Chains A and B, each alone.
Chain A
Amino acid sequence: MIAQKEAPSAGPSGEAPQETFVLNLGPQHPAGHGVLRVLMTMDGEWITKAEPVIGYIHRMHEKMGENRTWAKFLPNTSRIDYLSAMHYTHAFVGAVERGAGIEVPPRAEYVRVITSELNRIASHMVWWGALLSDLGGLTPFLYAFDDRELILDLFEGICGARLTYCYYRFGGLCNDVDDDFLRGARAFLKHMPPRLKLYRDLVTNNIILRKRLTGIGLISAEMCRKYGATGPVIRGSGVPYDVRKVEPYSVYPKFDFKIPVYPECDSMARYLVHMDEMEQSLRIIEQALDQIPAGPVMGKVPRVLRLPPGDYCYAVEAARGRFMVRIVSDGKDIPYRVKLRTPSFSNLSLYEEASRGMILTDALAMLGSLDLVIPDIDR
């Protein structure tokens, strides 16, 4: 961090001179996770303006979408938010299936839900570990990664990848899940509840954590709406907005699950939403494993995929909120335009307004509670 002094200006009505300075946070810092830079104008410990500077790992995925076929762009979508790749590929295959009118077999949809929810838990675990290491507690990170490893092993077994999965295909899945996966998922359902209790006893009810997060980093529901913030951020502001319920897709309407909502609007509310969501994801996985039908996992897809001219949208609830793909086709086998609407981008855009007047350490805790993934912002 490099501080740079500005000329002091006289305060109003004869107070001590108001001196502000610019504090540069990032883009590379050992404690940061990703290349996010924030230019903070400070008045002592207090922030008068915090301006995120983004784009350091911008890769222009949307341009890549315009120079390759629909299928060749699919692996790109798993590299936008590398922590919830299943959701992102789901949105893109969903948009193309919608445009081309491809039917997906029920078994494939169930497997998509199971893998998506496992991915959500894995993603929340990384967030949990990263937030706590932001706050100075390094041990929980190791606990979370220990449990997350089980999910990554399951995914590796079905699609070979541990992070950037490209498991969904237009019309279904690249291959069916095997018995090992189903057994492993069942075992994970048994393994996880005691671990979540451990997380709760060890961390959630820890007085230091509570004092760092409670009542701090307020984001109102109105601010969420104006900035398009979604996911745990809007649900921590008392709005039960979840794409799985509000704009249902796949086979989510078949399952009984709750949307965790906390009306406190503070960092702790966002923390608790994340923790409760892991339990709800386990419930969904259990129901899906009970109900999963037999049958094929691939529908009928034309050899050369051409979408009728027009635009098609598909939104999913990714781990960080609403991810929407808007594709425009001009009838060729290559997309005319691919727009990726990512949740972290919108969730970070409110930071300048929300962090005004906060103490630096609190603002950093709040930044952690927003659950940012930088490639998701920069695309």
Chain B
Amino acid sequence: MKPTIEQLSAAFSDLVGTRTDTAPAAPAPVQAVDHKRKGYDFDATVASPQVVPAAEILDRLGFALDAVTGVDWIARQEMEIVYDFFHPETSLRVVVRTRVPRDNPELPTISSVFPGANWHERETHDFFGIRFLGHPNLAPLLLPEDADFHPLRKDYQP
């Protein structure tokens, strides 16, 4: 089964209707992107509770988990969480992104859909202090086991 951009757009159109104000003023919430210029084909911005249904859509379409990471947009007081997916049979690359308030960075885990997200989310928690609700074990992964700091926050002082 090889998914297409049209299938993705149709599947994501339901999710996009309920974006919240915390999502950025992005050009368009769901858009096809030029792979040559950006390195991915499809960019979807969803509200933070919807990352799980988004992951379920991509799981159904046969995508594989590439990475989960964060970006600290300190000027806007927001944390962005970026989910990368690749497809084992096609060149399609999908990026799902969401934003949460920086003072209370919480969103649901997708590790129930993609078990591989377990480690990626732990790492994102290490680096940014973003809490993934329902995660089986959010203990430090790469940082020391007693670490209480988040080095990739832009206001982190060693």
Complex CA–CA separation, A141 to B38 (angstroms): 42
Residues on B with C-beta less than 8 A from A314 are 39
Complex CA–CA separation, A336 to B144 (angstroms): 25
Complex CA–CA separation, A227 to B90 (angstroms): 18
Q: A55-B140, A226-B64, A314-B39 are in contact. Are A346 and B127 (CB under 8 A)?
A: no
Q: A54-B142, A228-B64, A336-B71 are in contact. Are A310 and B88 (CB under 8 A)?
A: no
Of the listed stretches B3-11, B14-22, B110-118, name the one at the interface; the rest are far from the partner chain.
B110-118
Check if A258 is an interface residue, CB within 8 A of chain B.
Answer: no
Partner of A322 from the list B63, B66, B69, B90 (CB cut-off 8 Å) is B66
Complex CA–CA separation, A251 to B158 (angstroms): 43
Partner of A324 from the list B38, B66, B152 (CB cut-off 8 Å) is B66
Check if A356 is an interface residue, CB within 8 A of chain B.
Answer: no
Q: Are A98 and B37 in contact (CB under 8 A)?
A: yes
User: How near does chain B come to A373, taking the closest CB pair, in angstroms?
Assistant: 15
Within A56-96, the residues touching B (CB, 8 Å) are 58, 60, 62-63, 66, 95
Q: Are A98 and B151 in contact (CB under 8 A)?
A: no
Within B98-117, the residues touching A (CB, 8 Å) are 114-116
Q: A322-B86, A339-B67, A349-B119 are in contact. Are A58 and B143 (CB under 8 A)?
A: yes
Q: Are A225 and B66 in contact (CB under 8 A)?
A: no
Q: Are A337 and B119 in contact (CB under 8 A)?
A: no
User: How near does chain A come to B156, taking the closest CB pair, in angstroms?
Assistant: 8
Residues on A with C-beta less than 8 A from B38 are 98, 310-313
Q: Are A312 and B39 in contact (CB under 8 A)?
A: yes
Residues on B with C-beta less than 8 A from A98 are 36-39
User: How near does chain B come to A225, taking the closest CB pair, in angstroms?
Assistant: 4
Q: Are B39 and A315 in contact (CB under 8 A)?
A: yes
Known contacts A313-B84, A337-B71; 9 additional CB pairs below 8 A are: A54-B142, A58-B143, A62-B152, A225-B62, A239-B89, A246-B90, A313-B95, A341-B66, A350-B115
Name A residues whose Cβ lies closer than 8 Å to a Cβ of B: 54-55, 58, 60, 62-63, 66, 95, 98, 221, 224-229, 234, 239, 241, 246-248, 310-315, 322, 324, 326, 328, 336-337, 339, 341, 345-346, 349-350, 353, 378-379
Name B residues whose Cβ lies closer than 8 Å to a Cβ of A: 36-40, 62-67, 69, 71-72, 82, 84, 86, 88-91, 93, 95, 114-116, 118-119, 127, 140-144, 151-152
List 22 A-B pairs, Cβ < 8 Å. Answer: A54-B142, A62-B127, A98-B36, A224-B64, A225-B64, A227-B116, A228-B66, A228-B67, A229-B116, A239-B88, A239-B89, A312-B39, A313-B40, A314-B39, A315-B93, A322-B86, A326-B69, A337-B71, A339-B67, A339-B82, A341-B66, A341-B67
